Structure 1
Amino acid sequence: MIEKIADLHTGEDSAKHTIYEFHQPADFSQLQIDWIQHQVRSRGRVLELTYSEYRLLCLLVKQLGKVFTHAQIYREVYEEEESGDTENIIYCLMRGLRKKLEKDSRYPEFIQTVRGVGYKFIGKVEIVGLAD
């Protein structure tokens, strides 16, 4: 959004200069999830998530701040008991989601790693499309 700040008049010739300031909407970086359309938006763009990435994101968002272990995530996302290298499978899934979601995964805005435990959702989120 561009906002007019002031009009300046200089010297005798009364030349007029206008100063503008650019403001981004406050919620531009906010995450928006539409449950009905299964659509996720971040920074004004629709994210192309895989089915597993979408399920992972929804799991974390539905219980904001709760830390989920790799095993819990695996069971919820894949709807089966963990098998094989669960930790590596979830790490790869999380890396793909973060790549699409975060501006810089070194400084997460949405999903935080809890070392030695798992992950939790820490960002702002707007949920749309909920049934009454």
Structure 2
Amino acid sequence: MGMNEQVAKILIVDDEPQIRKLLRVTLQAYSFGIHEAATGEDGVRQAIEVRPDLIVLDLGLPDLHGLEVLSRIRAWSRAPVIVLTARDREEDKIVALDGGADDYVTKPFGMGELVARIRVALRHASDSANEPTLTFGALSIDLVHRVVELDGERVKLTPTEYELLRVLATSAGKVVTQRQLLQQVWGDAFSESDSHYLRVYIGHLRKKLEADSTRPQFILTEPGVGYRFRSRD
């Protein structure tokens, strides 16, 4: 880490002291600066005071629901938010992602996984300074000229397929919900019942991009939630 490189500040909002301790010890070992809050109100206040680079937010807080904390923070901040949620609350994940969370990790979670998600979210926040071309291994997407190449060969996509790929790839490493995809690709004309179109188009894209569309390398399915494009590592 260079002398001038800022240490990323992470705010942990969780009411369980042992989880806060685990996160603090682990994340400090990765040279992150840690701030903690045990309640939603304190989390909102600290987000304003500390201006963290990333927030880890437990949805099950004693005072405010995590989604309320998220919407208060999202009213003014674009800092990435990773929510912690109980494994069986599928609906929470979707509502949180639609409400502006960047990713989610289900409890119990592995620290390795969480650290990887944090790194992706921080990188995504810093490089959303609009690079003209995105590269993922053998796949390159030229956002200016709308040209997609795989192994140096141009891939012919329909406008809708391209738009779907663009939305997924510019959010690489993040989960994008079905609803977000429908809205960003098809606009306000969509309804939730159109989600089967999404599966059809994802199928078309996989046929054109994946060596084996039953074991996708680029467009990964997050069951019940949406899709996640492979992160750029």
Question: Which residue, 136, 139, 156 being the options, matches 1:48?
Answer: 156
Check the 8 A contact 2:177/2:226 in 1, yes or no. Answer: yes
Deviation at 1:35, TM superposition (A): 1.5
Check the 8 A contact 1:33/1:41 in 2, yes or no. Answer: yes
How many residue pairs match? The answer is 99
The DSSP-based 3-state class of the residue aligned with 1:113 is: strand
- The aligned residue for residue 87 of structure 1 is 195
The structure in which a higher percent of residues are strand is 1
Q: Supply the AA of the counterpart residue of 1:95.
A: G
Deviation at 1:85, TM superposition (A): 2.3
Q: Is 1:66 aligned to residue 178 of structure 2? A: no
TM-score calculated relative to the size of structure 2 = 0.39
- The aligned residue for residue 114 of structure 1 is 222
**RMSD between aligned alpha carbons?**
2.2
Residues 123 and 48 (structure 1), Cα distance of their counterparts in 2 relative to 1, 3 Å cut:
farther
TM-score calculated relative to the size of structure 1 = 0.67
| Larger Rg over CA atoms | 1
Give every structure 1 segment of 4 or more consecutive aligned residues whose post-TM-superposition deviation is greater than 4 Å.
Answer: none
Alignment of 1:17-32 (within 5 A): 30-32=138-140
Deviation at 1:84, TM superposition (A): 5.9
Check the 8 A contact 2:173/2:231 in 1, yes or no. Answer: no
Check the 8 A contact 1:53/1:93 in 2, yes or no. Answer: yes
- The aligned residue for residue 57 of structure 1 is 165
Q: C-alpha separation between the residues in 1 aligned to 2:150 and 2:197?
A: 25
Summarize deviations over 1:62-105 as a string: whole Å, max 9, x none. Answer: 11111111111010001225326222010011111111010101
Q: C-alpha separation between the residues in 1 aligned to 2:149 and 2:208?
A: 10
- The aligned residue for residue 33 of structure 1 is 141
Check the 8 A contact 1:64/1:121 in 2, yes or no. Answer: yes
Residues 117 and 96 (structure 1), Cα distance of their counterparts in 2 relative to 1, 3 Å cut:
same
Q: C-alpha separation between the residues in 1 aligned to 2:138 and 2:232?
A: 6
5+ residue gaps, structure 1, are 1-26, 126-132
Alignment of 1:1-16 (within 5 A): none
Q: Is 1:99 aligned to residue 201 of structure 2? A: no
5+ residue gaps, structure 2, are 1-134
